[in-house]
Amino acid sequence: MKAIKLLLILLTIVSCSTPKEIVKKNNLSPRINCLGKGKYTIVMDAGLGNWSLFYKPLANKLAKNYKVCLIDRAGYAMNYVTTQPRDAKTFAIKMNKALVEKGITNNIILVGHSLGGLHVRMYQSLYPEKVKAIVLLDAASPNQFESLPKEFEELKNNQVKSLDKVIKLAQKGYLKYSKSKIPTFGLPKELLDDYYEVTTQPEYYFTLQKETEWFDKSLKQVGELGDLGNLPLLVIGSKNSMNESLLPGKTKNYPFERHNKIWLKLQEKLSELSSNSTFIVSEKDHYLNVTDINLVYNSMIQFFKKNQL
């Protein structure tokens, strides 16, 4: 009974509190954190709604032999957000500026998961002389919404609207008391405190919403790019990318099996971008940079050795 009373008191305090203001900055750069040393620099960009935390276990392993730089796109894991466009080209230009400021101007190996795959492809198209190889991890494909079940795009569009409510809840502080409802995407337990510290804040959901709104523009931009010639390319695609826990919304009888078959074909199609490509299939879900870390790490190391990187 005392616990219930205490909970009611806390909820009353929260409901009466002033909503947290979201601080917006027009010119906000990506944040880059680097570790390790090596001739080549692995630059890793995460997927939609993700940031450097999702690469941390993999980066720690890679940093034994390479310099690894992790990207936090503007607004993620930050106390402020940006009002700038969030399309792939705008981000690639900003990422390049941030890398140059870190002294990283050549011998770059790009790694992109999901949305990050669009970003690294755009970066390579703008600065081809700097890039020595690309690794795509269950990456977004320019024509994915034309190929996947129609319900998937509808859920994505509905998510943008529903995030308005989530942002308001986060501003009032409610999410701090409902962490169990926030999906963790397979992150290890030791990273969950850092994860919840970000995903209970309104800045995170504001950034996720804006990035989702710009997603179609990024797909179109990357769809207009040419192929990669003989640039070393590693594509790791998931055989079981989508499941009920990862679906961006709720719908009855979603065709997961059909979705995953189409998705894997799209991944294989990405490997055709280069005449010097390697295609690997993961049995894990879309977040294979977290859920299938050993396969991803071993595949990357073998790929690097094959191409003398």
Q: Is the pLDDT of residue 199 over 60?
A: yes
What is the pLDDT confidence band of residue 157, given thresholds at 50, 70 and 90?
confident
Domain count along the chain: 1
Higher per-residue pLDDT: 7 or 300: 300
Residue 4 lies in a domain: no
Tell me the residue type at 194. D
Q: Is the pLDDT of residue 82 over 50?
A: yes
Residue 136 lies in a domain: yes
Domain range enclosing 86: 22-306
In contact, 208 and 183? CB cutoff 8 Å: no
- Domain of 83, CATH number, reads 3.40.50.1820
Alpha-carbon gap, residue 274 to 7, rounded angstroms: 57
Residue 209 lies in a domain: yes
Residue 44 lies in a domain: yes
pLDDT for the residue 279: 98
Residue 296 lies in a domain: yes
Residue 17 lies in a domain: no
Neighbours of 35 (CB within 10 A): 15
DSSP 23: P
Q: Is the pLDDT of residue 215 over 70?
A: yes
CA 241 from centre of chain: 14
Alpha-carbon gap, residue 78 to 72, rounded angstroms: 9
Read off the pTM: 0.93
pLDDT for the residue 18: 75
Residue 1 lies in a domain: no
Task: Select from 210, 209, 215 the least CA-distant residue to 153.
Answer: 215
pLDDT for the residue 15: 53
**Region 275-285 average pLDDT:** 98
pLDDT for the residue 124: 98
pLDDT for the residue 10: 46
